[in-house]
Every structure is written in structure tokens, then in C-alpha cells.
Amino acid sequence: MVEAGASALELNVYYLSTNTAMSGQEAENRYADVLKQVRSTVKIPIAVKLSPFFSSIPNMVQRLVNEGAMDWFYLTDFISRY
């Protein structure tokens, strides 16, 4: 992607669990796992587009930032840079 001229990557992740035994934490871990895998592959900035369906959006954003994997996040019309 970088060779093709990409200067950043927008990552759209949406996961809706249908497993009644899966906790919210386990579902959120999937987002973190995807982001970590992408970050290990690319070195350009990553923007993450999040859905509004987290019990605590600030906590989810902080988790992703703490893992050093996310540079921006998008939530509807709100953009923030970390």
C-alpha cells in the first residue's frame, strides 16, 4: 500500500456477536486483535472507524491507544487524533 502511495489507512471493523456465551469484553478483544494484526503489518498511520455500540466508547478508544496501534478514531462525524 505504501508503495502505491498510501499515506494512511482507515480500518473499518464491525463485529456483531450472535454467541450468547460471548462476553462484551471478548467481543471488544476482537477489535483489538484485528488492529494489532494490521499494525504489525503496516507502519503508516491507522484511523479506526468505530460504531457507537460500545458500553464505554472512551474505554475502548483508550484500550486501542494504549496498545499503540491506533493513530485516529472516527465515530460518526467526530474525529480525534491521539
Q: Which three cell numbers stand for residue 72?
A: 485516529
DSSP assignment of 22-33: --HHHHHHHHHH
Sign of CA dihedral 61, 20, 30, 68: positive
| CA dist., res. 23 & res. 17, Å (int) | 9
This prediction's pTM = 0.76
- Per-residue pLDDT, 23: 93
Residue pLDDT, tens place only, 25-73: 998 899 899 989 998 988 888 888 888 788 888 888 888 888 766 676 6
- Per-residue pLDDT, 79: 53
